[in-house]
Amino acid sequence: MTTDDDAPLLRVEGLGKHYGRRLGCAGVSFDLHPGEVLAVVGESGSGKSTLLSLIAGEVPADAGRVRFRLRDGRLADLTELSEADRRALMRTDWGFVRQDATRGLRMGVSAGGNIGERLMGVGWRHYGEIRSSALDWLRKVEIGADRIDDHPGSFSGGMRQRLQIARNLVTGPRLLLMDEPTSGLDVSVQARLLDLIRGLVAELGLAVVIVTHDLAVARLLSHRVMVMRAGRVIETGLTDRVLDDPAEPYTQLLVASVLAA
């Protein structure tokens, strides 16, 4: 572990993964600073979801490393943390909003229980305080207080995603990973969810890595865009620059396909 006052919050260095002969991703490097939103875009199979899984430590990398600036200022290699420290980090400073909300929620637990469970994981024990915080977060994600004891199975897709966001943000993380959070939702529901995400990210000063195939999502939410193709980063830069004046032919095709839609 090293101390570096100018270090980013997240540093990804040469990250790579193969699945047999198939390349997941290779040589991916970037820095992410507090309050910055990075969108990773590309067509299906480009490696963007593999990259997110590697960052989260859900699959082991074949090459490279992921470092995160702890609250004491140390830039720690996540593979060097103990399992207990890594789990604690994922409960506190990290959040992961998944494309399929049923993977990010406890479907057999009430809405309030989903939020409260994460608080209990960081040491909260007072039932009244836990329930009060759960109610506050349901309000923030625009879910009625009268749904606190309902199970996510009775919620719409958009409500499940909003509940998943509340569950992830209740412990005040500094880094949020998001995998296609609006995919499969109706256009009107997508718009409402995106407005919610944008507001919460700005209010809380979150650093975010968001994987999306939707360039409109990238334009609305991100400061920078990273374009992936066949497991490799082919273009990166400020969002407006990449989407308004793409340098790479592949990025040009992505942008043109949106304009033609």
Beta carbons of 52 and 237 less than 8 angstroms apart: no
pLDDT of residue 6: 66
- Measured CA to CA in angstroms, residue 19 lies from 25, 29, 250 at distances of 10, 20, 24
Domain residue ranges in the chain = 2-93+173-260, 107-172
Model confidence pLDDT, tens digit, residues 196-243: 999 999 999 999 999 999 999 999 999 999 999 999 999 999 999 999
- Residue 3 pLDDT greater than 50, yes or no: no
pLDDT of residue 184: 83
Q: Taking residues 13-22, what's their average pLDDT?
A: 94
Other Cβ atoms within 10 Å of 50 Cβ, number: 25
33: left (phi over 0), alpha (psi -120 to 50) or beta: beta
Beta carbons of 221 and 197 less than 8 angstroms apart: yes
Which value, in Å, is the radius of gyration of the alpha carbons in the chain? Answer: 18
Q: Taking residues 179-195, what's their average pLDDT?
A: 90
Q: pLDDT averaged over the chain?
A: 93
- Residue 15 pLDDT greater than 80, yes or no: yes
Share of the chain above pLDDT 70, in %: 97
Model confidence pLDDT, tens digit, residues 75-116: 999 999 998 898 889 889 999 999 999 999 999 999 999 999
Give the CA angle between residues 210, 194, 148 to the nearest 5°.
105
Top-tier CATH class for 2-93+173-260: alpha beta
Q: How do 74-77 and 94-97 pair as beta strands?
A: unpaired
Place of tokens 């637990």: 109
Please tell me the pTM assigned to this model.
Answer: 0.93
Place of tokens 């033609």: 260
